[in-house]
Amino acid sequence: MTPLPVETLRSAALAVRTHAHAPYSKFQVGAAVLTSGGEIFAGCNVENASYGLTICAERVAVGAAVAAGHKQIVAVAVVSSGGHSPCGACRQVLSEFGPAMEVILIDADDPTKTRTTTLAALLPEQFSSGAL
């Protein structure tokens, strides 16, 4: 198996985080997903005054990958202040495209602080329709 391009994922997530639209929470997040074909797609959080319409960075990155025709994701890097893990909704969306993916969590305040886990560890009993 080819080693994950962790530095490339980290760089993409850090760079896209600067484009986050977070005027309400001020909590900027960047994410980058790696497809099984080796392509990287990035996304940032996009808040809305109607807060329920806010889109998390992870879901933006997944949407970009799917829009480009990719439906198998092997890794995701998430950059946030404090290095938080994806929310429950994002965990479920990620599981649709790669239940065994690696999850790289990066602290934006100190990008050398990085944790790696798996989506299975974060969402041990994910819901699946078996469609993919």
Which residues are documented as binding site? 45-51, 56, 87, 90
What CA–CA distance (Å, rounded) separates 35 from 48?
Answer: 28
Task: Confirm if 59 and 66 have CB atoms less than 8 A apart.
Answer: no
Helix (H) or strand (E) holding 119: helix 119-122
58 flagged as catalytic: yes
Residue positions in the annotated binding site for substrate? 45-51
Cα separation, 33 vs 46, in Å, equals 17
CB 106 within 8 A of CB 79: yes
Among 58, 96, 102, 125, the one annotated catalytic:
58
Contact predicate 73/34, CB 8 Å: yes
Residue that is written with structure tokens 């996009």 in the block: 46
Active site residues: 58
